[in-house]
Amino acid sequence: MAIVSSSEIAKEIFKCVELLNEKLERKDWLKSFRTRARQMPELIFTRGLGYTLAYIASKSSATYFEQAFMFSSCDDLVNRASQLRVGDEEAGYTLYAWLLTLALRGTGLVKASRFSELLASALENPLLESTAFSIAEWIKRAAEAYIEERR
């Protein structure tokens, strides 16, 4: 994902969530992802990006988080998602981590190739934090638009 403008980021996020919704067979994972997408903007706003990244990694894993650094597109993310072997909740956090990381890398503000480097960037770069909040809001809106809430 080689993008820079906020409109390009939004389009790419919506494309990714649409692809996940179309191609991912595990609907419980999508529901969990939607839940995460609805929670994360508030967490970024109240606790900061660094804390939020650490929280997501604690609910998934730093290892799964780092897989996002190998993705160059939404297709890569969706293809890898179908190979995950985790529970519903962990899948939701992992999918969220992957999309957030892919979008952050697309801004050009993140040069990290490891979770620890991403975390350090988040703690040191206020611009990255405000950009991440905007990205989290776009992910939330895309998840709400494409993934139905099942009652």
pLDDT tens string 18-73: 999 998 888 888 999 999 999 999 999 999 999 999 999 999 888 888 888 888 88
Q: Which CATH superfamily is domain 6-146 in?
A: AF1862-like domain (1.10.520.30)
Angle at the Cα of 22 from the Cα atoms of 20 and 23, rounded to 5 degrees: 70
Distance CA 62, CA 86 (A): 14
**Residue 7's pLDDT is what?**
84
- Sign of the dihedral defined by the CA atoms of residues 72, 39, 83, 149, in that order: negative
- Is pLDDT of 2 > 60? no
The answer to whether the predicted template modeling score (pTM) of the entire model surpasses 0.75 is: yes
Query: Where exactly are the structural domains of the chain?
Result: 6-146
Average of per-residue pLDDT across 90-109: 90
